[in-house]
């Protein structure tokens, strides 16, 4: 009976609560604030800042737990580091902030806002035909030792690197890939970025890895492939111009001398968005004019010298 009386009292108090007066300006203000947060979240999602943002959320949860457990020392350190952390955020997000301000200054900002892609879905993954063309083109170019660098975009959009190249926006085919990377053609130098079933840009510049443990014999293509895999969740295919062998860079690791079957399995896993499957690939390094060096499976860093 006591529980029933408690519920009745709660309902009575709820009914008696007087709602504040809501004016039209209050509704407009709420809409504007929600729209602002929507823009910020979309901007974060469509840039490399999304990965950094998730790291900040983890740190925030850490301090919330410390506050709940009354860990005074940790809270004191967090308070002292707060001002320095704000400056650090500005430095870390400087490229993204600059790009956001440039976007705000464009006349077609609102149009691009409502037409932008808000995320990757399974429908946006490449088709079986694209998968087959990627594998076939890679080994066709390897047979004639035509160097190639193919970046396959996943969740993290590579817009900032796409802007460094030349827009293509063409359906990916085996013939197109071979033609792009053919020697002495205007688009053969640099990387191409693949989004879904389309090649969105060519001759793109990628960040080189600064990992000192990588073999000094690695060429620029391999270092760029590892570099882009360190700052995004992309998967990059590399065709060596010296040996004609295929390598795959993912999560800061380089898998070399990949067979046609292995490459198909990697792309199938990527297509199916199944991160739970384990790679059976071996880590290694590919040197110029030398045989590829294999390192034991399960090593923490691939392509070490």
Q: Tell me: pLDDT of 3 over 80.
A: no
Residue ranges of alpha helices (H) inside the chain are 2-16, 24-45, 49-68, 72-92, 94-104, 109-115, 128-143, 159-162, 174-181, 220-231, 260-272
Quote the tokens at residue 256.
């070399």
Q: What CATH code would you report for 122-273+280-294?
A: 3.40.1700.10
| Residue 31 vs residue 81, higher pLDDT | 31
Asked whether the beta carbons of 133 and 174 are under 8 A apart, the reply is yes
Nearest-5° Cα angle at 259, 147 to 120 = 75
**pLDDT tens digits for range 192-241:** 999 989 999 999 999 888 877 777 777 888 999 999 988 888 899 999 99
- Give the count of beta carbons closer than 10 Å to the beta carbon of residue 139: 17
**With bands split at pLDDT 50, 70 and 90, how would you rate the model's confidence at 136?**
very high
**pLDDT tens digits for range 94-125:** 666 666 665 555 545 555 555 444 444 444 47
pLDDT of residue 297: 38
**With bands split at pLDDT 50, 70 and 90, how would you rate the model's confidence at 293?**
very low
Residue whose token pair is 């399974």? 122
Mean pLDDT across the stretch 41-54? Answer: 66
**Best CA proximity match to 174, nearest among 128, 213, 148, 140:** 140
Average pLDDT over the chain reads 75
Q: Tell me: pLDDT of 79 over 90.
A: no
Q: Tell me: pLDDT of 10 over 60.
A: yes
Torsion 220-167-185-248 (CA) sign: positive
Q: Tell me: pLDDT of 20 over 50.
A: yes
Percent of the chain at pLDDT > 70 equals 68
- Give the count of beta carbons closer than 10 Å to the beta carbon of residue 124: 13
pLDDT of residue 236: 93
pLDDT of residue 237: 95
Q: Which of 41-50, 70-79, 144-153, 197-206 has the lowest mean pLDDT?
A: 41-50
Mean pLDDT across the stretch 168-189? Answer: 91
Q: Tell me: pLDDT of 18 over 60.
A: no
Mean pLDDT across the stretch 244-250? Answer: 91
Q: Tell me: pLDDT of 175 over 90.
A: yes
Q: Tell me: pLDDT of 131 over 90.
A: yes
Q: Tell me: pLDDT of 38 over 90.
A: no
Mean pLDDT across the stretch 67-87? Answer: 79
Percent of the chain at pLDDT > 90 equals 26
Mean pLDDT across the stretch 157-171? Answer: 89
pLDDT of residue 193: 94
Domain map (residue ranges) of the chain = 20-115, 122-273+280-294
Q: Report CA-CA distances (Å) from 299 to 219, 228, 229, 303.
A: 21, 20, 17, 10
Nearest-angstrom CA–CA distance, 42 and 30? 18
Q: Tell me: pLDDT of 259 over 80.
A: yes
């Amino acid at each position: 009976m006591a529980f029933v009386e408690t519920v009745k009292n709660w309902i009575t108090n709820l009914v008696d609560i007087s709602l504040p007066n809501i004016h039209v300006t209050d509704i407009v203000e709420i809409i504007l604030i929600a729209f602002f947060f929507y823009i910020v979240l979309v901007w974060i999602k469509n840039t490399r800042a999304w990965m950094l943002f998730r790291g900040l959320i983890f740190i925030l949860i850490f301090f919330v737990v410390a506050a709940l457990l009354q860990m005074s020392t940790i809270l004191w350190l967090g308070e002292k580091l707060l001002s320095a952390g704000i400056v650090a955020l500005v430095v870390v997000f400087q490229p993204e902030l600059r790009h956001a301000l440039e976007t705000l200054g464009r006349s077609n900002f609102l149009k691009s806002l409502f037409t932008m892609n808000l995320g990757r879905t399974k429908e946006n993954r490449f088709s079986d035909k694209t998968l087959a063309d990627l594998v076939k083109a890679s080994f066709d170019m390897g047979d004639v030792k035509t160097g190639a660098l193919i970046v396959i975009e996943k969740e993290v959009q590579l817009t900032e690197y796409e802007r460094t190249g030349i827009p293509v926006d063409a359906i990916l085919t085996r013939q197109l890939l071979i033609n792009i990377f053919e020697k002495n053609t205007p688009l053969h130098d640099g990387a191409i970025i693949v989004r879904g079933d389309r090649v969105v840009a060519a001759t793109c510049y990628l960040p080189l890895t600064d990992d000192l443990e990588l073999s000094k014999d690695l060429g620029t293509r391999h270092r760029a492939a590892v570099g882009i895999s360190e700052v995004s969740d992309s998967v990059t295919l590399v065709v060596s111009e010296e040996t004609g062998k295929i390598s795959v860079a993912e999560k800061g690791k380089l898998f070399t001398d990949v067979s046609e079957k292995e490459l198909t399995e990697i792309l199938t896993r990527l297509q199916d968005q199944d991160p739970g499957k384990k790679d059976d690939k071996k880590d290694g390094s590919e040197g110029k004019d030398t045989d590829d060096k294999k390192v034991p499976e399960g090593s923490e860093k691939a392509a070490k010298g």
